[in-house]
């Protein structure tokens, strides 16, 4: 057994040496035999001849020896491979077409697989027992609406940890963009703010130094120690081991570096990798003195590793009980106002760590799953195309195959050989596919995963494994039909049939493949149409403000303590700096930013009406008199704020259109009063009604928004932060860096200005449609091209087969039009068939796609019609060339060619 294995391995790896040894062994034998004959009195020449004669054919013996050694099977494979390579080289155009087709199909799938894997399956690097590590979510009913959240308070985390028994490890983490470094070197970078226990979830060890300890993560203030990430260490400290003990300002405090995380360690995040890890207590302590015993500041994601013996249901039950307890102690702390945990149905549960698999999954993971299916269809179309080409060639090779069968090649050997050919093609296709995925995949990844770091295809073993699997399936799918067909060849019949390669007959299989291609191209293109229209609808949606003209800028304070007067002076200076920038038309202070941050102060109270909170969520916005002009939000009735609506003037407010209609149904909201908070607060008079805005969910219901003058807001709630909307006369994206520099000059100490076009905050909201549209267009286009190539090759082949028949027709007086019509008819029939079948499939799938669309019916007749027209046009174009070619058939030649 062992000897066998050793020899087989040698046969594989030391082939040349073994061949040489065999040669020597046989030569030695011949020499000895010759010597023997010489000794018996023969001449050397005679002896040699006699020895050879007796020995027999050296090559045949070598073959037998190889067989005896068990290298024969391997030899056959290499022989098949060589033969296949020769066949492929002989027809480079054909080979290139197939490799390209398969490459596109496999590449599309490889790229999508990388993304899906990343979104849904792959566990974070270094994570121990990923199947038992969970992200904790809480859910409750608020304002009559069920809500699910993953951000919790620090104190709630300590409660949940203390009051549950189901977990080995509980930890928290928040990934925040914080200013790292000092002076000019300061950059805003993602920083992981974590509990010390967070590192217990991983099997990673710092490359130098250590993680921070529980002692260093003790509330309230913690210890200012930091572990920096490997890339940050390389980039900023050039990988110097002396980095330990050095200090680094992060956010408002100065941290001492105690360790460097290993390469690839990011903790648990979908976004770009953090520059540093700092203790949750050290960060929180500098922001909020009461974070460790007061509820209200929800900023952390909680992670927990379930004990091996505890099932998820039991863990969830424990978590829910503990969460209800925290809910009630929060209620007690606030003087027993608000809802009890029972009424709120407060519960907590353990979800997978991957956000895309949890309740918070964005539409991108759903869309990505769809696109994966689409990519698979493209691959199937590519396979159908290749199978079709191979079938066409198999017909052309019928005589060759029949001849080989007649010469005694077994059918099984023949199938092996043909499959080797498709394997080789699939392997080449896979290589091309990896190249395509590498190149096109980068674009894809930035589209879906934004700044998440994903290893490129060629470095990712999982994706490569997937590609290999896909190639194998492709080889079997494309190779089986032609191989089986060849193996059934009728030897005598084919050889007898003569040079005309038999008569023209349609293959049912090939017709089916072609219809399949057409049908799925239609399905994908319909998808493309639906997503494109959805995207257009989203873009055309008025959000209630001008997105492209406005820059949002805010001052970020880094531990510079200003007096109230100095802070007010700073805001004034910043506002002046913004307004004096050329191209800026107006600027306004703001407290809320769409899709970024918002302020809710509960539902207002209105005389004569019960609690309004059950109507939905009310958002508070405050701004300068120039607010509406700056944002472009239209005032429908009444007036805007003026400078005289200050803290000494009577309180005023503007309300959104829908809010006015719902709160004061059938009445004019102007002049009505409302108040926020307790009954001691003064009433505000409504002085204007403005159009609705969307600031939380682009698809959501109309929001209720009310506006206060910033002066009155400041007087009531304390001064707002320096945050501005700035309207520019051009493209806001160009102005953001200019404004950043201009306003930065006014900032004291290490504080800095962050400026971004409003569009960059809105764009992620459109992403899933943008992504769906791009993907469906790309893949749909690919499918259409493949189908067109398929149709072209089939029709061309059919024409070639019918040269004789066409010759007869022309000889009998058919004119050019007749011939063209004859050929075109074939293409058009295929297209119509594909359209009919594809439409049926699309209509069945429509229901599942509908929720992904925006204000677009999945049955949109315009889209279906346009795609059908496109398909027909392409079919005609693809058939036109063979049709014209058919008209040039020379009847005399065609008839004589036998």
Partner 1 sequence: MSDRLDLPQGTLDLLILKSLSLAPQHGWAISERIHQVSRETLQVPQGSLYPALHRLERQGWISAEWGASDNNRRAKFYELTRAGRRQLEAETDAWKKLTDAVDLVLRMA
The residue ranges that bind partner 1 (CB under 8 A) are 1-4, 7, 21-22, 24-26, 28-29, 31-33, 36, 54-57, 60-61, 64-65, 67-70
- Smallest gap, in angstroms, from Cβ of residue 352 to partner 1? 52
User: Which sign does the torsion angle of CA 92, 95, 100, 106 carry?
Assistant: negative
Here the tokens at position 840 are 């049926």
Query: 68 vs 861, which CB is nearer to partner 1?
Result: 68
Identify the CA nearest to 432 among candidates 386, 396, 489.
386
Identify the CA nearest to 878 among candidates 827, 823, 816.
827
- Smallest gap, in angstroms, from Cβ of residue 64 to partner 1? 4
The phi and psi torsions of 508 (rounded to 5 degrees) equal -65, -40
Per the CB < 8 A criterion, the answer to whether 225 and 212 are in contact is yes
Query: 61 vs 100, which CB is nearer to partner 1?
Result: 61
Query: 54 vs 668, which CB is nearer to partner 1?
Result: 54
Residue recorded with tokens 């959240």: 149
Query: 61 vs 74, which CB is nearer to partner 1?
Result: 61
Report how far residue 386's alpha carbon sits from residue 426's, in angstroms, rounded to the nearest whole number.
10
- Smallest gap, in angstroms, from Cβ of residue 38 to partner 1? 13
User: Which sign does the torsion angle of CA 817, 819, 820, 821 carry?
Assistant: positive
Q: How many CA atoms lie within 13 A of 123 on its CB side?
A: 14
Per the CB < 8 A criterion, the answer to whether 743 and 487 are in contact is no
**H/E run at residue 552:** strand 550-556
- Smallest gap, in angstroms, from Cβ of residue 50 to partner 1? 12
Chain centroid offset of residue 693 CA:
30
**H/E run at residue 149:** strand 145-149
Q: Is 755 left (phi over 0), alpha (psi -120 to 50) or beta?
A: beta
Query: 33 vs 599, which CB is nearer to partner 1?
Result: 33
Report how far residue 24's alpha carbon sits from residue 19's, in angstroms, rounded to the nearest whole number.
9
| Cis bond before residue 220 (omega within 30° of 0) | yes
- Smallest gap, in angstroms, from Cβ of residue 78 to partner 1? 19
- Smallest gap, in angstroms, from Cβ of residue 356 to partner 1? 54
Query: 22 vs 720, which CB is nearer to partner 1?
Result: 22
Query: 36 vs 205, which CB is nearer to partner 1?
Result: 36
Query: 40 vs 238, which CB is nearer to partner 1?
Result: 40
Per the CB < 8 A criterion, the answer to whether 521 and 838 are in contact is yes
- Smallest gap, in angstroms, from Cβ of residue 2 to partner 1? 7
- Smallest gap, in angstroms, from Cβ of residue 75 to partner 1? 14
- Smallest gap, in angstroms, from Cβ of residue 82 to partner 1? 24
Query: 31 vs 893, which CB is nearer to partner 1?
Result: 31
Report how far residue 418's alpha carbon sits from residue 425's, in angstroms, rounded to the nearest whole number.
11
Query: 70 vs 748, which CB is nearer to partner 1?
Result: 70
DSSP 94-139: HHHHHHHHHHHHHHHHHHHHHHHIIIIIPPPTTBSSGGGEEEEEEE
- Smallest gap, in angstroms, from Cβ of residue 69 to partner 1? 5
Query: 8 vs 357, which CB is nearer to partner 1?
Result: 8
In terms of DSSP H, where are the helices of 336-460? Answer: 341-344, 363-396, 398-406, 411-449
- Smallest gap, in angstroms, from Cβ of residue 1 to partner 1? 7
From residue 657, how far is each of 311, 544, 638, 706, 707 by CA, in Å? Answer: 50, 11, 12, 10, 12
Report how far residue 563's alpha carbon sits from residue 631's, in angstroms, rounded to the nearest whole number.
30
């Amino acid at each position: 057994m062992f000897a066998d294995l050793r020899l087989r391995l040698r046969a594989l790896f030391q082939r040349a040496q073994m061949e040489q040894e065999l040669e020597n062994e046989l030569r030695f034998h011949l020499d000895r035999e010759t010597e023997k004959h010489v000794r018996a009195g023969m001449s050397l020449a005679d002896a040699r001849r006699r020895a050879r004669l007796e020995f027999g054919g050296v090559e045949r013996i070598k073959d037998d020896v190889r067989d005896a050694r068990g290298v024969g099977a391997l030899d056959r494979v290499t022989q098949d491979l060589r033969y296949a390579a020769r066949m492929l080289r002989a027809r480079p155009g054909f080979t290139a077409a197939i490799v390209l087709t398969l490459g596109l199909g496999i590449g599309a799938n490889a790229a999508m697989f990388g993304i899906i894997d990343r979104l849904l399956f792959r566990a974070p690097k270094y994570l121990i027992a990923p199947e038992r590590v969970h992200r904790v979510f809480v859910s409750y009913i608020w304002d009559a609406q069920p809500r699910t959240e993953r951000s919790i308070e620090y104190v709630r985390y300590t409660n949940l940890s203390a009051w549950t028994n189901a977990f080995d490890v509980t930890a928290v983490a928040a990934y925040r963009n914080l200013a790292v470094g000092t002076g000019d070197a300061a950059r805003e970078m993602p920083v992981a703010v974590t509990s010390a226990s967070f590192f217990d979830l991983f099997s990673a060890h710092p490359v130098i130094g250590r993680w921070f300890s529980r002692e260093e993560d003790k509330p309230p203030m913690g210890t200012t120690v930091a572990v920096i990430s490997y890339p940050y260490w390389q980039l900023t400290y050039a990988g110097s081991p002396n980095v330990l003990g050095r200090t680094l300002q992060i956010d408002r405090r100065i941290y001492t570096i105690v360790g460097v995380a290993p390469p690839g360690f990011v903790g648990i995040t979908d976004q770009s990798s953090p520059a540093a890890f700092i203790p949750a207590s050290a960060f929180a302590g500098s922001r909020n003195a009461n974070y460790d015993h007061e509820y209200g500041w929800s900023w952390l994601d909680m992670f927990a590793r379930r004990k091996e013996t505890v099932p998820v249901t039991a863990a969830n039950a424990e978590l829910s009980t503990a969460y209800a307890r925290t809910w009630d102690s929060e209620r007690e702390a606030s003087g027993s106002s608000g809802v009890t945990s029972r009424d709120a149905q407060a519960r907590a549960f353990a979800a997978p760590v991957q956000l895309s698999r949890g309740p918070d999954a964005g539409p991108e993971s759903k869309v990505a799953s769809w696109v994966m299916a689409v990519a698979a269809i493209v691959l199937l179309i590519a396979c159908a195309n290749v199978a079709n080409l191979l079938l066409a060639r198999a017909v052309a090779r019928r005589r060759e195959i029949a001849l080989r069968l007649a010469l005694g090649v077994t059918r099984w050997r023949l199938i092996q050989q043909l499959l080797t050919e498709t394997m080789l093609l699939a392997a080449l296709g896979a290589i091309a596919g990896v190249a395509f995925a590498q190149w096109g995949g980068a674009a894809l990844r930035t589209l879906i995963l934004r700044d998440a770091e994903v290893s490129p295809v060629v470095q990712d073993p999982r994706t490569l494994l997937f590609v290999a699997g896909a190639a194998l399936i492709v080889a079997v799918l494309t190779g089986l039909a032609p191989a089986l067909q060849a193996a059934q060849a009728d030897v005598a019949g084919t050889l007898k049939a003569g040079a005309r390669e038999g008569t023209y007959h349609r293959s049912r299989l090939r017709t089916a493949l072609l219809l399949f291609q057409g049908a799925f191209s239609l399905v994908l293109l319909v998808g493309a149409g639906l997503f494109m229209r959805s995207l257009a609808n989203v873009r055309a949606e008025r959000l209630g403000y001008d997105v492209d003209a406005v820059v949002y800028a805010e001052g970020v304070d880094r531990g510079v303590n200003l007096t109230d007067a100095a802070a007010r002076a700073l805001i004034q200076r910043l506002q002046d700096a913004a307004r004096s920038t050329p191209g800026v038309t107006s600027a306004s202070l703001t407290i809320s930013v769409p899709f970024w941050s918002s302020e809710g102060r509960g539902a207002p109270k209105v005389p004569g009406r019960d609690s309004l909170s059950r109507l939905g969520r009310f958002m508070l916005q405050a701004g300068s008199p120039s607010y509406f002009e700056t944002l472009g939000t239209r005032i429908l009735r009444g007036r805007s704020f003026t400078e005289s609506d200050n803290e000494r003037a009577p309180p005023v407010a503007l309300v959104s259109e829908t809010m006015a209609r719902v709160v004061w149904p059938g009445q004019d909201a102007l002049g009505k009063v409302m108040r926020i908070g307790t009954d001691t607060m003064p009433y505000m008079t409504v002085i204007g009604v403005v159009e609705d805005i969307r600031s939380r969910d682009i698809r959501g219901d109309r929001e209720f928004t009310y506006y206060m003058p910033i002066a009155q807001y400041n007087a009531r709630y304390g001064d707002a932060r320096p945050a501005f909307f700035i309207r520019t006369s051009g493209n806001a994206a160009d102005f953001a860096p200019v404004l950043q520099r201009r306003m930065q000059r006014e900032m004291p100490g290490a504080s800095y200005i962050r400026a971004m076009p409003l569009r960059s905050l809105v764009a992620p909201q459109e992403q899933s449609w943008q992504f769906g549209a791009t993907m469906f267009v790309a893949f749909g286009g690919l499918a259409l091209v493949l189908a067109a190539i398929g149709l072209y090759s089939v029709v061309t082949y059919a024409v070639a087969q019918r040269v004789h028949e066409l010759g007869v027709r022309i000889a009998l007086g058919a004119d050019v039009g007749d011939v063209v019509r004859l050929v075109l008819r074939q293409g058009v029939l295929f297209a119509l068939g594909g359209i009919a079948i594809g439409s049926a499939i699309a209509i069945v799938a429509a229901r599942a796609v509908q929720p992904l669309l925006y204000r677009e019916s999945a049955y949109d007749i315009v889209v279906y019609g346009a795609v059908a027209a496109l398909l027909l046009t392409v079919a005609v174009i693809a058939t036109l060339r063979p049709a014209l070619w058919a008209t040039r058939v020379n009847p005399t030649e065609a008839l004589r060619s036998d």
